[in-house]
A and B are shown apart, each in its own frame.
Chain A
Amino acid sequence: MRPPDTNEILLQVEGVALSFGGVRALKDVSLNVRKGEIRAIIGPNGAGKTSMLNVVNGFYHPDRGTITFKGRTRDRMQPFEAARGGIARTFQNVALFKGMSALDNIMAGRTLKVRRGLLWQVLRCGPALKEELEHRHRVEEIIDFLEIEAIRKVPVGRLPYGLQKRVELGRALAMEPDLLLLDEPMAGMNLEEKEDMSRFIVDVNNQYGTTIALIEHDMAVVMDLSDRVAVLDHGVKIADGTPDEVKNSQAVIEAYLGVAH
């Protein structure tokens, strides 16, 4: 069940600035994600949304500012450390392991949960086999949840885009993350696929209690799904609040529609 809305802060980004050469992608952005909520980050193209996610999971190291996740503050970490901390992520353009089957992709998401080392895996018997089967069991639950049973043995390179997105979500879920970052989970999907994906996102949030931060351009989806929305424009946070508050914010309207002269 969905955890009761608390005000406990899971992720706090404080005064983060990031620049690439002369381009300042993020200028002093602060925002937080509460435990158990669905948090959206929106903004026009080039607003710095993806940069924000990349900072959170360690791809980019911010020039200034701190990131506090689960009460621990840090300013520099590697992506796999973020993963170990419980941050999972999907990409705008699907980043699956093309040569592997859907099942293996999701199984790869269990890497951090694997306890037996190389020597046990070579033998693949006793505890190692038992562990492998447990992971398989867990992964099958996710496959069930995402309704991709039929394609589990298919190499993901052969799957249509919508299903690839689903497998990628599955791989992130296999990590049993505390915070799930979704970078445009609905980009390039038709209405039906968007509805499916929205349902999965809400279900993930409800059933597993996973906190979700997502970037999305489809306003209807964002306003429907999210508890709170932050709006970025040119690397600056221009609005933050419930969907209704954001919708009526003058700054947001100007950012999206332009200013009347």
Chain B
Amino acid sequence: MLYREAGQFKTTYAEDMAIFPIRQDRIALAVLLGIAFIGVPLLATFHIWPFGSDYLLWAILLPFLILALAAIGTNILVGYCGQISLGSGAFMAIGAYSAYKLVTGVHIPLAWLSFAISIPPLPVFASILLGGLIAAGVGILFGIPSLRIKGLYLAVATLAAQFFFDWAFLRIPWFTNYAPSGSVNAPELNFFGLIVQSPIERYLLCLLLVTLMALLAKNLVRGNLGRQWMAIRDMDIAAELIGIRPLYAKLTAFAVSSFIIGVAGALWAFVYLGSWEPLAFSIDRSLQLLFMVIIGGLGSIMGSFVGAAFILIVPIMLNLIPAELGVPLSTETIAHFEFIIFGSLICYLLIKEPHGFARLISIGKEKLRLWPFPY
């Protein structure tokens, strides 16, 4: 009854093409953003439940936001352009290590030219964005094979990127500034004079960036470039026929996707981890992102958020439930149960709705429009 669009007339195409053309959706989004931007910081500042400790902020919301951003990047490539990628973790790593190198200053001695490339240390924010751009460049490079190979074969090719960069960041000491342990530390997070330190500041920083980039990504996918990507995904022959250049469409998808993933990687390293080693961006991370996208919904920005929330939060919940209920189980047993239940949940979801949460939500909305009548 509440969710009706009756009486909401659209008189311009601009209104019809809005991200949320239905008023109730806009209200829901405003409420959500209000909670995220004002509610959470308020609760956290005054340590009101559930923000009594920093646990929720630090262990759930922060990784959720950053991984949701990475999932958006993955979704652009896999969901919108249909190019299966198993290299998302590598692009996160490229973003992270490039940003690290830029923030600490780059020095490449070219002895045989008696010349050296030297870049002075850059500010944190510029480094993060440039890290994203470098990831985009590498993404384009690894996207070139997609012009020839498709589907699962492409997935294997992107897997090569994953293993190569895992190796490179572990074995080439230049990337870690010759740190003996192979682990590097994030710089002080100085954003235009503002030092981001406490969990709530980190949360707000990520929230701001993620919201902004999600909006920009949404702009892209609902514009002409997004249609080009989807056209390539759905039927590349027909796409070529209406004048879409596969080269341009695929490589822009790789570039935009890698940029977003690269920025997410830099945030993950700088803002969330603080100090990290290549293991943080292993193949597990790639698979995790891919699952987020598949479960959240291929070809949906909102689905990326829901997928990230599901993959990240459900295991934690499963872990906490027995303790909350007072069931006497050893931590080991709980960990096993977590795997079993989570695995079967994923299977159930994919059987029930192979198009993921995004489709479930849109079906739910259609039902809600008619409620309480069945049709």
Contacts and interface: CB of A to CB of B under 8 A. Distances in A.
A97 B239 contact: yes
Contacts of A57: 241
Contacts of A137: 13
Contact of A79 (B14, B233, B241): B241
Given A129-B14, A136-B17, A107 B240 contact: no
Given A83-B242, A171-B242, A133 B220 contact: no
A104 B223 CA distance: 10
Contacts of A129: 14
Contact of A121 (B13, B224, B245): B224
A97 B230 contact: yes
Given A99-B234, A99-B299, A111 B240 contact: no
B219 interface: yes
B225 interface: yes
Interface in A158-185: 171-172, 174-175
Contacts of A107: 224, 227
B243 interface: yes
Contacts of B240: 78-80, 83
B56 interface: no
B245 A80 contact: yes
A210 to B, nearest CB: 15
A122 interface: yes
A112 B14 CA distance: 21
A112 B243 contact: yes
Contacts of B108: none
A108 B242 CA distance: 8
Given A83-B242, A111-B227, A122 B216 contact: yes
Point out which of A89, A91, A111, A136 has the most chain B C-beta atoms below 10 A from its C-beta: A111
A100 B228 CA distance: 11
Given A114-B224, A132-B17, A133-B14, A104 B241 contact: no
A175 B243 contact: yes
Point out which of A83, A129, A174 has the most chain B C-beta atoms below 10 A from its C-beta: A83
Interface string A99-121: 11000100111111010001001
Interface residues of A, number: 42
Contacts of B241: 57, 79-80, 82-83, 88-89, 95
B13 A111 contact: no
Contacts of A96: 234-235, 238
B360 to A, nearest CB: 16
Nearest to A129: B14
A140 interface: yes
A97 B246 CA distance: 15
Chain B interface residue bracket vs A: 20 to 34
Nearest to A87: B241
B234 A100 contact: yes
Contact of A100 (B224, B230, B242, B244): B230
Interface in B221-260: 223-225, 227-228, 230-231, 233-235, 237-246, 252, 256
A73 to B, nearest CB: 21
Point out which of A57, A95, A99, A174 has the most chain B C-beta atoms below 10 A from its C-beta: A99
A24 interface: no
A111 B228 contact: yes
A84 interface: yes
Nearest to A128: B223
A122 B220 contact: yes
A112 B256 CA distance: 21
A124 interface: yes
A1 interface: no
Contacts of A83: 240-243
Contact of A97 (B238, B243, B245, B256): B238
Nearest to A124: B219
Q: Which 8 A-B pairs have the closest CB atoms?
A: A83-B243, A97-B234, A112-B243, A95-B238, A124-B219, A121-B223, A79-B240, A108-B227
5 contacts: A99-B299, A108-B224, A108-B231, A121-B220, A137-B13
Interface of A: 57, 59, 78-80, 82-84, 88-89, 91, 95-100, 104, 107-112, 114, 118, 121-124, 128-129, 132-133, 135-137, 140, 171-172, 174-175
Given A95-B235, A95-B241, 7 more contacts: A83-B243, A95-B238, A111-B228, A118-B220, A118-B252, A122-B216, A137-B13
